[in-house]
Structure 1
Amino acid sequence: MSGRAPYGLIAVTCAAIMAVLGFLVSGEGLSGPDDLAVKWVERTFGADTGLLRLLVLPTEAAVLIPVALLAAVLCLFGRRKPEAALTIVGPLVAIAANTWVLKPLFDRWKNTYLAYPSGHTVALVAVLTALVLLARPGLATAVIAIVGAVVLVGVTIGMIGLGYHYLTDVVGGALFAIATVCATWVLLTWAARRRAPVRSDG
């Protein structure tokens, strides 16, 4: 996996869109798309809280932590130290920055808690993005991306239906997670190249 491009551009683009969206919904309640999403979920899934909670399950720490640790261990066995670091550092940085910086900055409330960007989404998408970057280019990458997208759709429905988040909270969380993990990968590969010994031509 190469860290040169276009991960930096992806990180900047996603972060910029997340910031613009955040300022548009800052301090507000429902936006137009959020209202439509709530009505569609309520109409389609009703009050089936059992199904909705099942859809949200992939965002739980009990699911994400083992997945990230397993990926890190496999990378270490394969002597892929930057990749192992990515699976741990990327999600941790994303979660911490979201909790302590972005949520207070955008000041968007849902019930009694800050909601934008969605912390559940940040955790999930950060791990999924790391897995996509770790996969060998080709079929494996496509499969992980498709499965991840399906899981994210289900999680979005679950969180909207349970009243945890608005649609825009989820979108913002996904964008920030992608931006953070891609930026982390760029920094890790840059650091790895700086530490690599220079070959002698003599």
Structure 2
Amino acid sequence: MSAKGSSGLIAVTCAVIMVVLGVLVSGEGLTGPDALADNWVRRTFGADTDLLRLLVLPTEAYVLIPVACVAAGVCLLGRRRPEAALAVVGPLVAILANTWVLKPLFDRWKSTWLAYPSGHTVALVAVLTVLVLLARPGVATAVIAVVGAVVLVSVTIGMIGLGYHYLTDVVGGTLFAIAAVCATWESLSWAVRRRAPAPSDG
């Protein structure tokens, strides 16, 4: 089954797991897995803030916005309007919902900011999920997924090392971004199907 074909199921599954994890860490500080990840990152990378900031770079808006715009442009050139809309709307929905709904709802703090789900992660994974959905099934999808996973691991190390987020914040952000983009794709696909003319009986 393709990623597009199973996007509804993926969205629901990721959303449920994200909510369960959020309930478990709501209002909490460092959990067991968070402590293990934090200790490993600090032992391995120490105080090399230059490297850690470099690892977090893919989450910056000036990196992600051009990627999303290029993806949308390519889709428009190929007359794939629903996919072009997904490239813009999917990440936007994920980021806004996370910032204005989920973070206040789960109320988990890291220093002086709300931390769950990680906004850095939501932005990055939302764009990566769009790229996976837009890619031709096969090698291209696999390559994007593998490269995306490597980038996500690197970003996770950077955010933990810089004290931006706990590991569980990143997991929650990943799950929500996937859920939001897949749900957006399902909504766009439904709208396209509804507007499509009914087949003629003649």
Q: Could you say which TM-score interval applies, normalised by the shorter chain?
A: over 0.9
Q: 1:38 to 1:4 in 2, by over 3 A?
A: closer
Conservation of the 8 A alpha-carbon contact between 1:103 and 1:114: yes
Identity across matched positions, percent: 81
Runs of 4+ in 1 over 2 A off after TM superposition: 2-5
Does residue 139 of structure 2 align to residue 139 of structure 1?
Answer: yes
Task: Tell me the TM-score normalized by structure 1.
Answer: 0.98
- The answer to which of 173-182 and 189-198 deviates more is 189-198
Deviation, 1:3, is 8.2
1:11 corresponding residue in structure 2: 11
Report the Cα distance in structure 2 between the residues aligned to 1:195 and 1:135, rounded to whole angstroms.
24
Deviation, 1:201, is 3.5
2:193 corresponding residue in structure 1: 193
Does residue 40 of structure 2 align to residue 31 of structure 1?
Answer: no
Does residue 93 of structure 2 align to residue 100 of structure 1?
Answer: no
Q: List aligned pairs for 1:37-186, cutoff 5 A.
A: 37-186=37-186
Conservation of the 8 A alpha-carbon contact between 2:110 and 2:164: yes
Report the Cα distance in structure 2 between the residues aligned to 1:24 and 1:3, rounded to whole angstroms.
29
Cα-to-partner distance string for 1:16-70 (whole Å, 9 max, x where unaligned): 0000000100001000000000000000011100100000000000000000000
Conservation of the 8 A alpha-carbon contact between 2:37 and 2:167: yes
Equivalent residue pairs, number: 202
CA RMSD of aligned residues (A): 1.3
- Unaligned runs of 5+ residues in structure 1 are none
Report the Cα distance in structure 2 between the residues aligned to 1:11 and 1:166, rounded to whole angstroms.
23
SS of equivalent residue, structure 2 residue 47:
coil
Report the Cα distance in structure 1 between the residues aligned to 2:37 and 2:3, rounded to whole angstroms.
36
The amino acid across from 1:80 in the alignment is R
Deviation, 1:4, is 6.6
Report the Cα distance in structure 2 between the residues aligned to 1:139 and 1:132, rounded to whole angstroms.
11
Cα-to-partner distance string for 1:48-96 (whole Å, 9 max, x where unaligned): 0010000000000000000000000100000000000001101000000
Conservation of the 8 A alpha-carbon contact between 1:91 and 1:123: yes
Report the Cα distance in structure 2 between the residues aligned to 1:114 and 1:188, rounded to whole angstroms.
31
Task: Tell me the TM-score normalized by structure 2.
Answer: 0.98
Deviation, 1:198, is 2.1
Report the Cα distance in structure 2 between the residues aligned to 1:56 and 1:131, rounded to whole angstroms.
19
Conservation of the 8 A alpha-carbon contact between 1:3 and 1:189: no
The amino acid across from 2:139 in the alignment is L
